[in-house]
Amino acid sequence: MDFKLLKTDSQTSARAGIITTDHGKIETPIFMPVGTVGSVKGVSHRELENDINAQIILGNTYHLYLRPGLDVLKQAGGLHEFSSWNRPILTDSGGYQVFSLADMRKLTAQGASFRSHIDGSPHLFTPENVMDIQRIIGADIVMAFDECPPGNADYEYARKSLDLTEKWLERCVQRFDTTEPLYGHSQTLFPIVQGCVYPDLRKRAAENVQKYNRDGYAIGGLSVGEPAEVMYQMVEVVNGILPKSKPRYLMGVGTPENILQSIALGIDMFDCVMPTRNGRNGMLFTSEGIINIRNKKWQADFSPIDPFGLTFVDSRYTKAYLRHLFIAGEMLGPQIASIHNLGFYLWLVGEARKHIVEGDFLQWKNAMVKKVSKRL
């Protein structure tokens, strides 16, 4: 993997760059749709490629390990071949999913033992076998195995959690660097900076990951319940330490406003389930603001879903028709909303990149934040 920094904004820390992988180029800043089990819910690859223009999507190690399982993925030739997706893929390590299991998992120095959410069967994730699993999945960018502490964790819990994450990272790197990709394309490992909401722990973690000299770095454990201002503070602390020559990935974030503010702080990569999950529940993120399409006010609104016409659904369908689909329980409704929201997120980061290059990012961002956070 190669990262080339093309432009840094003069008034903020926003950056425009390009990541090159064996499956193609990624223009940053970028939003990555979440395809947890090898598919972005309700959206076909054709729509992702041609309408949404997703340059990279996510898969999840935990979910893919359970279903379809490693034997099927290996026989298929990895997730790219299995799912017929020819662009870059990033896989999360499954640490967050194991953390989310709460009462169904136990953490030790060895790893995380947990029970499947599907059938209750017992499993063990270690730094070593998570690297092996991600070799079998075959993503272009893979994540280190970490523990994700809750946003309200006290200092002692956060410190012990970071101790564990740092020990696991050392083992992840050792295993990754002594194994080879399985399918003829290169893979790269991103460490994850943890430390909860404590600046000294975040600084320590950001300094620690650099000794492994990886191609990029992720910031995890944010957007898990802490206030947005605290999240921005932690991002600023970490980005002040991470090397400027490497891409920075803020995991699991977030709202359009979160993304714009984090781009201004120097983040290059984002993922979040929000555009699809909220879309399936009738929430639309548009260039004019946030819409709950179920509200009666849209019942006879025959205007396009988004006046910018970001994807084909925006100009093809009206707000009134989309509301009708939701009220009638038609599955086409959530599909249209998901396509629109993902198209909007990709348009938003693309516009941010354009304004970084043109030199007026700050003015554009400030105006856009007001728009995208307004409820219509």
Q: Which residues are catalytic?
A: 92, 271
Whether the Cβ atoms of residue 259 and residue 270 lie closer than 8 Å to each other: yes
Question: In this structure, what DSSP letter does residue 102 have?
Answer: G
What residue has token string 């093809």?
A: 316
Cα 52 to Cα 46: distance, rounded to the nearest angstrom:
9
The neighbour count for residue 339, using CB atoms within 10 Å, is: 27
What's the sign of the alpha-carbon dihedral 65, 68, 73, 78? negative
* CA separation, residue 81 to residues 48, 60, 85, 137 (Å): 17, 16, 7, 10
Q: Is 180 exposed, middle or buried (0-12, 13-18, 19+ CB in 10 A)?
A: exposed
Beta strands in the chain (DSSP E): 2-8, 15-21, 24-28, 30-32, 57-60, 89-92, 105-107, 112-115, 122-125, 141-143, 188-190, 192-193, 217-219, 248-250, 269-271, 283-286, 289-292
Cα 209 to Cα 259: distance, rounded to the nearest angstrom:
24
Contacts of 82 (CB under 8 A, 6+ apart): 38, 68, 72, 73, 76
Q: Which two tokens stand for residue 284?
A: 């639309």
Amino acid identity, position 269:
M
**DSSP code string of 279-322:** HHTTEEEETTEEEETTSGGGTT--SBS-TT--SHHHHHSBHHHH
Structural Rg of the chain based on CA atoms: 20
* CA separation, residue 86 to residues 23, 62, 79, 82 (Å): 6, 22, 10, 10
Cα 135 to Cα 27: distance, rounded to the nearest angstrom:
25
